Each structure stands twice: as C-alpha cells, then as structure tokens.
Chain A
C-alpha cells in the first residue's frame, strides 16, 4: 500500500492517474516562476508549486492539478493561482469528464500579498464556472499540510471532497487560531485536538467531505473515480445551494454550543466517541454510516 501522504505532488499524479497519461501544461522547463519571490531574495520553484494538465482516470479524460506541499506549504502565489485558473478555464473549452484538484496548501502565499489573495478568489470563481458548465470538480485532500485558508473555501466550492483520516480541512489553521484567540481557546500543539477539529474523520461525520479513505494512493484513486460518477447527481443549482444552507443552519442550531468535537460525536449518537479515532478508515465509515450528517 503506497502512502498518499508521503508522496510528492508529481508522484501522486503518476500513481493516481492512468500510468503515463499525464500531460502537463506549463511544465517546469517553461520556467514560469513567481515574480515576487525573487524580489524578496527567496528561492523559486520552476512550477511555482503546482502541476496542472490533462490525464486519464480509468480511461476517462480528466483535467487535474496537484499542489506541492513541500514548496512553501503549497501556498498559492500569483503564478500558482493563475495556473489553476488557466487549467479550469481550459477545462470548460475541452469538456473533460471531470476536474480533480489534489489540494495540499496553507492557503494564500503571504509573500505575494494581494496578488495571492486575488489569485485564490479567481480560483473560486473558475471552479464555480466549471461546475456551471456541467463538469464535476472533485477535491482530493491527503497531504501533511492539509487544506487551509482560501483554498479550504475552494475545496468546499467543489462537487465533492475525498479525504483520509490524516488529511485536514479548515479555514484558519491551528496556529492562526491560537495566535488570534489565545492558547486557552485553542492549543495548536495538541495534535489530537487539531485532528479532532479539522481531520478527515470529523469532516466526514459533519458531512463536510463525501468520502473517507485509508492513506493509500489506490484508495484515493478508487474514491475519486466513484465521486466522478456520483458528482453529476449534485448540480450547481439554487435548490442544491439552499439545501446545503439548510443543512449548515440546522447543524449550527444543533451543535453551535458544543465546545469539544468528541461531545459533538456523542450528540450525534456515538456511544463511545473516544473509540472513533482508533478505527481504520473502512471500519469507521461503516460504524458511523447511520449518524453522519449530509449523507447523499
């Protein structure tokens, strides 16, 4: 079983997609690097931390992007964001069966300030344009940097999210919350707490992600393919958005007062919430099937 967590972005592309099928747009040899990092005397990467292109998934044409968490935590700079937007817009022209976003990112690359912020907002708009064109967008999250900040919002703009237990998804990351609100509010060094509040299992229980898989590239591949098939059943319509809003409102009413994720799991109907972190992915999915929110 090959770990998805430990693979680089390019290794994930090689192993998750059909072998040899990935064709990159703007490969490293085209040397489209960040114009900002050089001014700050900081190292650049030839792909600006993201590989985008077209490929085959079980023989089906897909467009795909993979963020490299090892380069600046996968953070989105101007070029990085423009590559994502360009790939998404090209998808509308070429009509692949789906777009896969292999996300691993801390969000905006703060070195690039407003250019990075604008880039992330453009990615959100482009994701919604692709969905409006009838092409499903699937987010795949399983890297050690998680998926945070503006890119956490991008992930939630997709049709479906596939996560592993090790994956994390949120807006503000643990250190940001601790810095802003104090260590009494959130202790970023408490790894169990961090995963209870942002990890894949919590997200799956709350209905924030649609599939939870073991940390293997093969499991991610199978789940991504499954979501491509299901995703067309959840179109981007006002009705679907209102249903989602109703789900979120009900969730807030029901759990807004809860201070600790484990209490929330208990309130959902889990008799032994302390046992949930110890379950393997498949056993966990089976165990929580009756109580998880947002099943569809």
Chain B
C-alpha cells in the first residue's frame, strides 16, 4: 500500500451536501469519499492505493480534477485497488456530481 496526500488551494466552488461515497474497492476500481469540511478554502485529497509507485500520475490526475471543479473546503479520501487514471477521473466526477444533485 502507498499513502499519498495532496492539498489544492484557490478553489471557488463549495459543495452543498455533507458527504457521499461512490465506487467500490474492487479490482481495478476505487471508492471516493467526498465531504465538506472547514479547510480555509483548501481541497485535500488522501489516497490509499494498492499500486505502489504511481505518485506522479496520481498528482496529474488530481491536478486535472482540481482544474475541472475548483472545489473549496472539500475533503476527499480514496481507497484504491489498482484503478486506471480514466476510472479514477470518472469516479471523482461522479462523486462531485452526486454531491451537486438535488435530493428529495
């Protein structure tokens, strides 16, 4: 296992809901737990991944994600079992979109 942490500043979008989880920790898949938290405007990402040695790719995927959504005061935690970058991006977008959905 490898643990990675990234902090992104300068986000502008706050999420309306408390927390949600998307995805499953299965082979080639991951779960994304997304929560609102008072982080002085930051978006933090904590990753626990079974695939060791891919820090540079994770950083690129997360930087793209931050550029897309510009989240602030958001805490993201990931449990990964070897998902590809495309799947990671998909799950991250799914997590944000779930948080933005209007719910009855």
B15 is an interface residue with CB less than 8 A from chain A: no
Q: Across the interface, do A71 and B104 meet the contact criterion of CB distance under 8 Å?
A: no
Binds A, one of B29-37, B55-63, B64-72, B85-93: B29-37
CA distance A20 to B33 in the complex (A): 19
Other-chain contact of A42, B21, B29, B50, B80 (Cβ < 8 Å): B50
A95 is an interface residue with CB less than 8 A from chain B: no
CA distance A27 to B20 in the complex (A): 9
A241 is an interface residue with CB less than 8 A from chain B: no
Q: Digitize B68-82: 1 where CB-to-A-CB distance is under 8 Å, 0 elsewhere.
A: 000000000101110
Q: Across the interface, do B19 and A29 meet the contact criterion of CB distance under 8 Å?
A: yes
Other-chain contact of A45, B31, B49, B103 (Cβ < 8 Å): B31
Query: How many chain B residues touch A (Cβ–Cβ < 8 Å)?
Result: 20
Q: Which of B40-55 contact A (CB under 8 A)?
A: 48-50
A-B pairs, 3 with minimum CB distance: A70-B24, A70-B26, A28-B21
A269 is an interface residue with CB less than 8 A from chain B: no
A25 is an interface residue with CB less than 8 A from chain B: no
Q: Which residues on A are within 8 Å of B, measured CB to CB?
A: 8, 10, 19-20, 27-29, 31, 38, 41-47, 68, 70-71
Chain B: which residue is nearest A9 at the CB level?
B24
Interchain nearest-CB distance for B43 vs A (Å) = 17
CA distance A68 to B21 in the complex (A): 13
Other-chain contact of A71, B18, B19, B26, B103 (Cβ < 8 Å): B26
The answer to whether residues A43 and B77 also contact, given A29-B19, A29-B35 and a CB cut-off of 8 A, is: no
Other-chain contact of A44, B19, B26, B79 (Cβ < 8 Å): B79
CA distance A10 to B23 in the complex (A): 10
Q: Across the interface, do A70 and B104 meet the contact criterion of CB distance under 8 Å?
A: no
B96 is an interface residue with CB less than 8 A from chain A: no
Other-chain contact of A8, B24, B35, B48 (Cβ < 8 Å): B24
CA distance A198 to B74 in the complex (A): 46
Q: Write out the residue numbers on chain A whose beta carbons fall within 8 Å of the beta carbon of B49.
A: 43
Q: Across the interface, do A46 and B1 meet the contact criterion of CB distance under 8 Å?
A: no
Interchain nearest-CB distance for A14 vs B (Å) = 11
